[in-house]
Structure 1
Amino acid sequence: MPIVHIKVSNFEGEVLQSQKPVVVDFFADWCGPCKAFAPILEEFSEEEKGVKVCKLNVDKAQDIAARYKIESIPTIVFFRNGEEIDRFTGLKSKEALKEMVKKEE
């Protein structure tokens, strides 16, 4: 499933109202670790068909970043049924991402 680039206008529909579990990567274009994490997230999105993967640029959606208390990037937040289930901050492996999703099933 391709990565969905979300913004303020479609955050609610794509994330909070999604029928599928959602992983959101809060990132910024200038962030080195965010760029390093991008191929990991891409691989994850191709392998995990039951999970929607989204990216949200915090510089373009500061109110959403503030609502979810995003203080460092990259921060990955896992949502199910519109609720935050888990999160991690920093560069992690694809396996860590899979583990986060699997443990919450």
Structure 2
Amino acid sequence: MAFCSSFSPLDQEPGTEQLAAQHGPLLLEFGAPWCAHCQAAQALLASAMQQYPDLPHLKIEDGKGRRLGRNFRVKLWPTLVLLQDGQEMARLVRPDSLQAVEQLLASLATAPRTS
């Protein structure tokens, strides 16, 4: 699984416990399909993720009544959260350049491997 172009349905959204038990890297993207900032970031994210074809990417729709975003202290969209073995390694809020997204993903190279 690489770049994901659509948001996960609410009934398929992972829970905090499930994410904490995740092994390996995972990129979470919090946002909303109607959000102009989220739409603008898609091309940047798709381009940067070409270098990481095996990186799982989940788009989580955030908003009123959506707890996962609150658990990750999301305040602005899009917010990208990079997890390694269920632990947050890095985050990027409202990416505005390819370089910013590439820098976030480059932190994978410095992540400790546990598996």
Question: Shorter-chain-normalised TM-score: which range?
Answer: 0.7 to 0.9
Gaps of 5+ in 2: 111-115
When structure 1 is superposed on structure 2, of 4-13 and 25-34 the one drifting more is 4-13
Answer 1 or 2: which has greater strand percent. Answer: 1
| TM-score, with length taken from structure 2 | 0.73
CA drift of 1:47 comes to 2.5
* Identical-residue share of aligned pairs (%): 17
Answer 1 or 2: which has greater helix percent. Answer: 1
Between the aligned partners of 1:42 and 1:14, the Cα distance in structure 2 is: 25
Gaps of 5+ in 1: none
2:25 paired with 1:21 = yes
Find the counterpart in structure 1 of residue 106 from structure 2. Answer: 102
Equivalent of 1:31, from 24, 35, 38?
Answer: 35
Cα RMSD for the two superposed structures: 2.6
Larger radius of gyration, structure 1 or 2?
2
1:46–1:5 CA distance, 2 compared to 1 (3 A): farther
2:55 paired with 1:85 = no
| TM-score, with length taken from structure 1 | 0.78
Contact 1:76–1:88 under 8 Å retained in 2: yes
The C-alpha deviation readout for 1:5-63, integer Å capped at 9, x for no partner, is 43554425984444331111101122111000112222223331242222111038710
Q: How many residues align?
A: 105
Equivalent of 2:79, from 75, 82, 86?
Answer: 75
